[in-house]
Amino acid sequence: MWVPRVLSIAGSAARGGAGIQADLKTFQEMGVFGLSSVTGIVAYHPYTNQNVFPIELSAIEAQVYTALRDVGVDAIKTGMLYTKENISHVAKWIEEADTTNVVVDPVMVGKMDTPLLKDDAINTLKTKLITLATIITPNMPEAALLLKSNQQLNSS
């Protein structure tokens, strides 16, 4: 029996209700084999007040290539990518992958108002990643930010 394989390239949410954890739970419920590449860890550190702990790009790349080469994928879903460098590389990996099924969740701000995308990365998200998407799934605040940044680009 064929089971679709989906790679989620996203952040890990310590609470389990978002990010890779939520993606894998959803994939399981839908009968999809889930693979993952963690781009960062989102958790509040009580002493440093830091909320986002980025994963080194080479580690993200190793996870992506392991999934693509060792298992293969039928679709790719992105989530928190955090930096323009990550977005650029993910776009390149998607172009190299043998799939046209791409879901882009333009994760920008967490539920606790934690910035999950650096300000200088919005344009890269729009020009390099969203253009590859079959579908994008912004929430209302993300959609507003994407439209606002588009208006600013058009008025320049």
- Which one is the CATH code of 5-155: 2.160.20.10, 1.10.10.60, 3.20.20.70, 3.40.1190.20? 3.40.1190.20
Strands (E), the chain: 5-13, 33-42, 52-54, 75-78, 102-104, 135-136
Between CA 153 and CA 38 the distance in angstroms is 31
pLDDT tens-digit profile, the chain (156 residues): 889 999 999 999 988 999 999 999 999 999 999 999 999 999 988 898 888 999 999 999 999 999 999 999 999 999 999 999 999 999 999 999 989 999 999 999 887 777 899 999 999 999 999 999 999 999 998 998 888 865 554 444
